[in-house]
Structure 1
Amino acid sequence: MNTANLSSILEQLSIWEKKLYKEVKDEERLRGIYAKEQKKLKKLDDRGVESGKIDATYNSIKKLLLKIKVAVSTVDAISKRINKLRDEELRPRLNELILSLTGMWTFMVDCHRKQFLAMLEGKTQLQIAQAAIERNSSVMAVRKLETDILNWATAFTYWISTQKSFVKFLNGCLMKCLLKEPEETPDGIAPFSPTRLGAPPIFITCNDWYNAIENVSGAGVSKAMHEFASMLNQLGKKLDEEKRQRLKVEYLAKDLEKRVKTLYEESRMNWEQYVLSNNAAAAEVTTESGILIPDGLHVDLKPMKNRLDDERARRTEAIMQANDIASQGFRAGLVRVFEALDGFSGEMLKALEQVRFPKGEGGTDAQLVVCR
């Protein structure tokens, strides 16, 4: 078998098909001229014109017949070359490709099944570390993962769509070479079948391949991936909200501390002396850095302290919500993604296993026409 790759074989077929098309059009043109000359000869003969004109027209017709015979011979030779290239080079390559894809999907079924079961049986609850939140590394990681998942969904859709488009195009080209005549049966017109036409094996294989994978949809996988990405987007927004709350808390805490120090200075109260006094032992209110707020000052600073406490509570709530999304959404999202991939891989494998690989040359009874 020729070691040329599939792309090279298809390119050669395209070149020969173009040559064949040109020769067929030339033959049609010659036949058109031939028909006109025949009419002309008949008119001359009916009118009884001089034999010189009749002989000239007759000689012209003989030359046209010779050219038509050469054209027919050329078309026949190119057609045989195309059939040989198709059956002896393209067919083995396509068989190898389909079998390789079958092997790949067999592996993918096993892989995605294990991933699905691992996520389904997993008990681990994901929590976002406080330090990661404060460093903003969690936000960047979530945003990057969201982008990667969306890119994965796009690549998956394009990959499957490209395979289907290739098979559809190839099968369409081959089917154009079959003379399809509706077959009447007691139950009505029979569905088209290359096998009943006695078509060569490659026609049967390609038609099976096209019909098998055309009904396998990757929409479920794409939907699961986009839903997971949407969850990551929501998590990213919640982490952004936590960041805003954290900045508010830090600003209010610094403002409170600055105000406390100012009040200490205005009242000429020594903080160290207050800490050592009995009054300090009863004081429970402090600033972010631990500066005690005396009872007298506490009353004046209560609105600021209450606002700071409210913002801390909102930040705590944002962190809890982010962790809830992370712990529940990550696992549930990945379960749906791998479940969809598991189902899709199984369907694709089942479809490819239905493709037939007829043996022998076949096609002796098939009516093949020039692909145009």
Structure 2
Amino acid sequence: MGAAPSREGDAARAAAREHTKRCRERLRLMREAVRQRRLLAASHAAYLRSLGVVASTLTRFAVGEPLPVSDHTPPAVIVQRAVAPSSPPPLLRDIYQRQREAQQQQLQQQEDGGVFVDVGAAAAAATRTEGVGVGVGVGGAEEELRIVVRHRSLAEVAAGLEEYFVKASVAGDALSSLLETTTTEYKGGSHSFLGALCCLSAPAVDRIDSMSGRQRHSATLQQLLAWEKKLYKDVKARERLQIRHDKKLAALRDQEYSRKIGVDIQKLKAAWDRARAQLEAASRSVDTSASAITELRDTHLARQLLGLCHATLDMWRAMRQHHEAQGLIAQQLRGLSSRTSMEPTTEIHHKATRALEAAMNAWCAAMAAVAKHQRDYVHAVGGWLKLTLAPVTGAEASPVAAELAAFADRWGMVLDRVHCVDVLKSIKGFAAAARAVHALQSDELRVARRVRQHTRELDRKSRMLRQVEKSYCDSYLPGGMSLWHWGRPMWREDHLQAREAHNEVAQRRDEIAACRKMVEDEMRRHAKAIDATRTATVTSVQEKLPAVFQAMAAFSASLANSLEAVCRAPPPQQNTHTQQ
């Protein structure tokens, strides 16, 4: 007779262990989501900064390269598209519709209960809530504006590229505000982590009021993390109480069947009643935590995730347009010629080349970091949403949860499918070209230093030769005219000294000739080094720089199209609700 209750107890304990395991994984994923959001915000800000740094360093590099563009080079025809805002996506409209129906139902219940509610204020609040994110729709009408641009030199081309770098950096400001890249976290209030902890003990109505308005995404994640910690603690406590309750119940049933003498059955019943009351209290605490998590997920997290995805879509759509314009401008670099300029490299330009290489490497690292942290963040949130589909309690599944989990899953698959490998390779290629130019400039500067050194040595030896010649002329020529007055022995001695001085002059002239030849050789090497540097510079900017913008435009277009498909995908039909 005790087999059936035993099986029921085993099933309850197994379910409790499964709930504990699932809640532990949910807590881990939410911790990872909070961490990845911070990393994503930091990497996004670093990426936008890197665009500005690349623009300024490229301009400084081009100023030091007086390379003209041929007049036969065709101008760039830049197409600017103005995208008009469209209607909200289907999933966002579906969420708004459900929330509006829930608000109307709540107002109706309050009116039936005799509570006066300002319907106009509630409708205005619903309208304000509905307005959040409407302007980030996709698929709007496009207006094209064609601009013909012609640049005369490398510096003008770099200035045009810098303009669109700045525009691309500004295109990420909306996403920066959603990721809170400039706000100070943990500054107190209900939007901080301590505020989230305070919300745990607040009543439901007060908690909703504290979270009303445009809540920050970081605050939502922090509150979800705090509730997940509490839920995990409550589920663990419920599992322990379930085991204790089963033991008390088994002892009571064993006593009822065996009728042992000396055992007070009333004490066993009282112990079982206490265990059952504690288990019910723990279950109510679990229900409270699960309801709070569901409320945060469906009320705030859903809109924030959709807003993040749409802001990312808008950013990459704008960047596609700007990088396409940069690619068209960079095509004018085909008209550069290294034969028209033989200006030597200066130390300032040498440092500008090194700064350009460092800026390109920083841009590459920031691009890789943004892609990685965005993918990890979406996977963490998507994994957590999937685990929330299985209810911890017996509550009904939320219709928003399945749609939101499917949305996050599609978003994650897009990030897994669209890679930035080609972009990173092209940026690294131009950085390597800048490093090669920097090495050639170093060789050129070393040859220039040797030219200056040998030139100074030639000047020094020339001055010494002039001094020796002047001393020879002043000392021996007048004495030679009066040799007949001093006799033959004196004449011989002076003649020997004159020959030695003459030999010294000839030796110094030979040294000067050798030094002059060395200077001429070094100057020829310097000219060859200048020509090699100019040729490498022109080749690098003609071949490597346009490839960077072409790869960026292709990646931006691919990611924007994929994200647009994710955002415009219709929500799955709820068959159960339709049947009801």
Q: TM-score, normalised by structure 1?
A: 0.78
Following superposition of structure 1 onto structure 2, how do residues 157-236 of structure 1 map, counting pairs within 5 Å? 157-179=368-390, 200-236=402-438
Residue aligning to 2:230: 19
Deviation at 1:299, TM superposition (A): 5.9
Shift of 1:295: 11
Q: Deviations over 1:318-347 (max 9, x none)?
A: 100100111110232211211111121112
Instruction: Give the 3-state SS of the residue equivalent to 2:441 in structure 1.
Output: helix
Moved more, 67-76 or 89-98: 67-76
Measured after TM superposition, the shift of residue 115 of structure 1 is: 0.8
Q: 1:228 to 1:363 in 2, by over 3 A?
A: farther
The equivalent residue for 1:106 is 317
CA offset digits 1:294-334 (Å, max 9, x no partner): 99986664332322221111111110010011111023221
Matched letter for residue 211 of structure 1? M
SS in 1 for 2:334: coil
* Separation (CA, whole Å) in 2 of partners of 1:236 and 1:333: 15
Tell me, which stretches of 5 or more residues in structure 2 are unaligned?
Answer: 1-128, 130-211, 392-398, 474-504
Task: Give distance in 2, aligned partners of 1:159 and 1:178.
Answer: 29
Please, which runs of 5 or more residues in structure 1 have no aligned partner? Answer: 181-196, 271-293, 366-372
Which whole-Å CA distance do the structure 1 matches of 2:298 and 2:511 have between them?
94
1:74 corresponds to = 285
CA drift at 1:42: 3.2
| Inter-CA distance 25–300: structure 2 relative to 1 (3 Å threshold) | closer
For 2:461 and 2:283, locate their aligned partners in 1 and report how far apart those are by CA, in whole Å: 103
State the Cα distance separating 1:82 from its structure 2 match: 1.5
Structure 1 range deviating more: 243-252 or 321-330? 243-252
Change (3 A) 1:117 1:14: same
1:334 aligned partner: 545
- CA deviation string 1:206-253 (max 9, x = no partner): 111111112221222222212211111111111111111112112222
Q: Please tell me whether the aligned partners of residues 170 and 206 of structure 1 are also in contact (alpha carbons under 8 angstroms).
A: yes
Write the mapping of 1:118-157 to structure 2, written as runs, cut at 5 A. 118-125=329-336, 133=345, 135-157=346-368
Note the aligned Cα RMSD (angstroms): 3.0
Provide the rounded CA distance (Å) in 2 between the counterparts of 1:151 and 1:207.
31
Q: Is the 8 A contact 2:433 2:540 kept in 1?
A: yes
Please give the TM-score of this superposition, normalised by the length of structure 2.
0.52
Q: Specify whether residues 77 and 299 from structure 1 end up closer, same or farther in structure 2 by C-alpha distance, changes over 3 A only.
A: closer
Aligned length: 325
**Structural mapping, 1:224-263, within 5 Å:** 224-263=426-465
Query: 2-side partners of 1:313 and 1:201: how far apart?
Result: 72
The answer as to whether partners of 2:248 and 2:275 remain within 8 angstroms in 1 is no
In 1, Cα distance between the equivalents of 2:303 and 2:390?
Answer: 24
Whole-angstrom distance in 1 between the partners of 2:511 and 2:293:
96
Cα deviation, 1:29-76, whole Å, max 9, x if unaligned, reads 111001111222233334422486222112211222222223223322
Distance 1:122 1:308 in 2: 36
Higher RCO structure, 1 or 2 (CA under 8 Å, sep 6+): 1
**Structure 1, 74-83 or 53-62: larger mean CA deviation:** 74-83
1:364–1:54 distance in 2 versus 1, CA, 3 Å? farther
Tell me if structure 2 keeps the 8 A contact 1:200–1:363. no
SS in structure 1 at match of 2:260: coil
Range with greater deviation from structure 2 (22-31 or 75-84): 75-84
Change in Cα spacing, 1:259 to 1:199, as seen in structure 2 (3 Å) is closer
Contact 2:461 2:508 survives alignment (8 Å): no
> Hey, what does 2:302 align to over in structure 1?
91
Bigger Cα displacement from structure 2, 168-177 vs 249-258: 249-258
CA distance in 1, matches of 2:349, 2:521: 24
> Would the aligned equivalents of 1:20 and 1:75 in 2 still touch at CA under 8 Å?
yes
Distance 1:364 1:132 in 2: 78
Tell me, in whole angstroms, the C-alpha distance in 2 between the residues paired with 1:226 and 1:323: 21
Q: Deviations over 1:75-102 (max 9, x none)?
A: 2232222212111211011111111111
Relative to 1, partners in 2 of residues 1:258 and 1:52: Cα closer, same or farther, differing over 3 Å? closer
Q: For 1:3-18, list aligned pairs within 5 A.
A: 3-18=214-229
Structure 1 residue 10: Cα displacement: 1.2
Task: Give, in angstroms, the shift of residue 266 of structure 1.
Answer: 3.0
**CA drift at 1:257:** 3.0
Deviations 1:111-166 (CA, angstroms, capped at 9, x unpaired):
11111122124334265966662x42210111111111111112222122221121
Q: CA deviation at 1:267?
A: 3.7
Letter in 2 for 1:324: T
What is the CA deviation profile of residues 157-196 of structure 1, one whole-angstrom value per residue up to 9, with x for unaligned ones?
A: 212222112111111111223459xxxxxxxxxxxxxxxx
Contact 1:201/1:358 (<8 A) preserved: no
Any idea what SS the aligned residue of 2:418 has?
A: coil
Whether the aligned pair in 2 keeps the contact of 1:112 and 1:339 (CA below 8 Å) is yes
